Amino acid sequence: MVSEMTSRERVLAMLNGKPVDRVPVVTGSTMVVEYIKKSGGKWPDFHSNPEMMVNVAGMMHTDAGIDSVVVPFGMFVESIALGLDVKMGRVDIQPSVRSFFKKPEEVNYANFLENTYVQTTLEAIKLAKEKYPEAAIAPFLVAPVTLAGDLMGAENLSMLSIKCLQKEKQMAKMEKWLSIALEINKIYAKACIEAGADLLYYSDASASPNLVMPDFYYKVGVPVEKELGDFIHELGCPWVLHICGDTVPIIEGMASTGADCLSVEQAVDMKKATEIVGAVPIAGNLTPLLMVEGTEEQIVNETRKGLNGGAKASMLGCGTPPLSTSDRLKTWVKAAVEWSAENL
Partner 1 sequence: MEFDELPEEVRELIEQLDEAAEDEEEEAIEELTEKLLDTGVDMEAITLKKLSLCVMDGEEEMSVGWTKVALKIGIDPFKALLKGLAAGMSLIGDKYEKGEAFVPQLMIASSAMYEGMELLSPYLKANSSGADPSTVVIGTVEGDVHDIGKNLVKTLLSANGFNCVDLGNDVEADRFVEAAKEYQATAVSMSTLMTTTMAEMPKVINMLESSGMRDKIKVMVGGAPLSTDYAAKIGADVSPKDAAGAANWLKTTLSESPSDTENLN
Pick one of 20, 82, 318, 333: the residue that binds partner 1 (CB under 8 A).
318
Q: Which of 10-18, 82-90, 102-110, 131-139 is the region at the interface with partner 1 (rule: CB under 8 A)? A: 82-90
Minimum distance between the CB of residue 212 and partner 1, rounded to whole angstroms? Answer: 6
Stretch that binds partner 1, among 9-17, 55-63, 108-116, 285-293 (CB under 8 A): 285-293
Q: How far apart are CA 8 and CA 319, in angstroms?
A: 20
In the complex, least distance from residue 86 CB atom to partner 1, rounded to whole angstroms? 10
> What is the distance between the alpha carbons of residues 304 and 43, in angstroms, rounded to a whole number?
35
Least Cβ distance, residue 87 to partner 1 (angstroms) = 7
Q: Binding mask 120-159 vs partner 1 (x if CB under 8 A, - otherwise)?
A: ----------------------------------xx--xx
Closer by beta carbon to partner 1, 155 or else 230: 155
Judged by beta carbon, residue 171 or residue 289, the one nearer partner 1 is 289
The region of 37-45, 232-240, 286-294, 330-338 touching partner 1 under the rule CB under 8 A is 286-294
Binding mask 223-262 for partner 1 (x = CB under 8 A): ---------------------xx-----------------
Residues that bind partner 1 (CB under 8 A): 87, 89-90, 92-94, 96-98, 154-155, 158-159, 161-163, 209-214, 216, 244-245, 288-289, 292, 318, 321-323
